[in-house]
Amino acid sequence: MQAKTLAIHAGYEKDAQNTMAVPIYQSTAYEFRDTAHAADLFALKELGNIYTRLMNPTTDVFEKRFAILEGGVAAIGTASGMAAIFYTIANVAEAGDNIIIAKQVYGGTTTLTGHTLKRFGIETRYFDVRNPSEIEALIDDKSKIILFESITNPSIDVADFDAIVSIANKHHILTCVDNTVATPILFSPFEYGVDVTVHSTSKYTTGQGLALGGIIVERENLVDKIKDNPRYKHFNTPDESYHGLVYSDLPLPLFTLRVRLALLRDLGGAPSPFNSWLHIQGLETLPLRMRQHSDSALSIATFLEKHPKVKKVNYPGLHTSAQYPLVKKYFKNEMASGLLSFEVENKEMAQKIADATDIFSVVVNIGDSKSIITHPASTTHQQLSAKELEEAGVPGGLIRLSVGLEDTQDLLDDLAKALG
Ligand SMILES: *Cc1c(COP(=O)(O)O)cnc(C)c1O
């Protein structure tokens, strides 16, 4: 079945009430048939609901549907995208280990890896996503995962998946793609050998800026890469916190299971059933929305490219972009999502343009039905010096757009007026 059908039906089996809409199971806990049933559930002899910190029937539909859309075997929802990224790293790395990530990642991922994980004794090594050959020199026997974004933000680069995955596989190290901006509709990471994906579902998935959420998805047969691999001893030795369970011996998807049993149990960043329900509503229209976001963004990028006040446009869907061959190779129907950035002469001009738009709102978010304009140098990257801004690929004159679902001509008119 195709994405448009799966987005509406996958993962939902009607209960006794036969409701067409997925019900919101707003419950903290679940009754066991008897104490023996409870013991079986805790011992994983039978699978079933225990407590909403670990699982919930509404969240379960969202997880199943998302895993199917992404082409994976299992998924686990979290309270936010940052929780999903933290759990993914914490699932493989501990004090003394290192992780390898792209320099061009979401700001929260940069601070998590550069500061918080450092306090926990996990070192981060950075590579330029435009130059995957830098990765090999960073790998040693303590390297646990290579993490990068399929479309980066705000520099709007597309990763060369084949190049990164082949280096990772040579060293039997896991790869994780943050697929938030591309979504499962534009790009299927598992078809290119990626092992695990993470998303902030707060963005395009919910689609209307309604709810925070995150999700982790694992590919089929991930056990083959982890079983007896000395990098991943937690999966191959008894988990003393779970009656000596050895994850790589189970007939179940192991990566997301370990997040559920160990990390959600102990750290607790579980999604609320209501937010999972909002995400299910978002998924139903995700294929339609991604087409519209991508079409409008391409029209706007084409317009900006010709405008005399615009020095440079970063949008990988533009045929003139150096990134376009990667979009053509990896992305479906050449859709390149709704994010673009462009550069004008200086910071003052950028601020003036952002302030002069009517439909675009000055907000630091992406993936909303409502169009957003962001000036990174005065917001997300405010603390950086002029030199640091250049190095981070965020010059003072850079403006980022998250193109929403309003009429494309209205958006073009608004930008034309603001640019003057
Ligand atoms: C927003 C975002 C995150 C963080 O997600 P939250 O849901 O805000 O915690 C992570 N990665 C990317 C690419 C994002 O855009």
- Say how far apart CA 204 and CA 290 lie, in whole Å: 8
Ligand 1 center from residue 27 Cα (angstroms): 27
Residue nearest (by alpha carbon) to ligand 1 atom 1: 200
Backbone angles phi, psi at 319, to 5 degrees: -65, -25
The residues spanned by each domain of the chain are 3-274, 287-419
Give distance in angstroms: CA of 108 to centre of ligand 1. Answer: 7
Model pTM greater than 0.95?
yes
Are 35 and 183 within 8 A, CB to CB?
no
pLDDT in the model for residue 383: 74
**Euclidean distance between CA atoms 169 and 133, whole angstroms:** 14
Q: What pLDDT sits at residue 391? A: 67
Report the separation in Å between the CA atom of 28 and the middle of ligand 1, taken as the mean of its atom positions: 26
User: Which residue's CA is the nearest one to ligand 1's atom 5?
Assistant: 81
CA of 259 to the centre of ligand 1 (A): 19
Check whether domain 287-419 has CATH 3.90.1150.10, yes or no: yes
Residue positions counted in the chain: 420
- Report in angstroms the alpha-carbon separations of 394 from 44, 56, 77, 129, 379: 49, 41, 32, 16, 11
Distances (CA, A) of 73 to 9, 81, 99, 255, 363: 17, 20, 24, 11, 35
Cβ burial 119-138 (10 Å sphere, 16+ → b, else e): eeebbbbbbebbebebbeeb
Ligand 1, atom 8: nearest CA belongs to which residue? Answer: 81
Q: How far is the CA of 84 from the centre of ligand 1 (A)?
A: 9
Question: How many angstroms separate the first and last alpha carbons of the chain?
Answer: 47
Write out the chain's pLDDT in tens, 420 residues.
999 999 999 999 998 999 999 999 999 999 999 999 999 998 888 999 999 999 999 999 999 999 999 999 999 999 999 999 999 999 999 999 999 999 999 989 999 999 999 999 999 999 999 999 999 999 999 999 999 999 998 789 999 999 999 999 999 999 999 999 999 999 999 999 999 999 999 999 999 999 999 999 999 999 999 999 999 999 999 999 988 999 999 989 999 999 999 999 999 999 999 999 999 999 999 999 999 999 999 999 999 999 999 999 999 999 999 999 999 999 999 999 999 999 999 999 999 999 999 999 999 899 999 999 999 888 877 877 777 777 667 888 999 999 999 999 999 999 999 999
Cβ–Cβ < 8 Å for 186, 337:
yes
Kindly list the protein residues whose Cβ atom lies closer than 6 A to any atom of ligand 1: 80-82, 106, 108-109, 149, 153, 178, 180-181, 200, 202-203, 212, 214, 366
CATH 3.40.640.10 fits 3-274, yes or no: yes
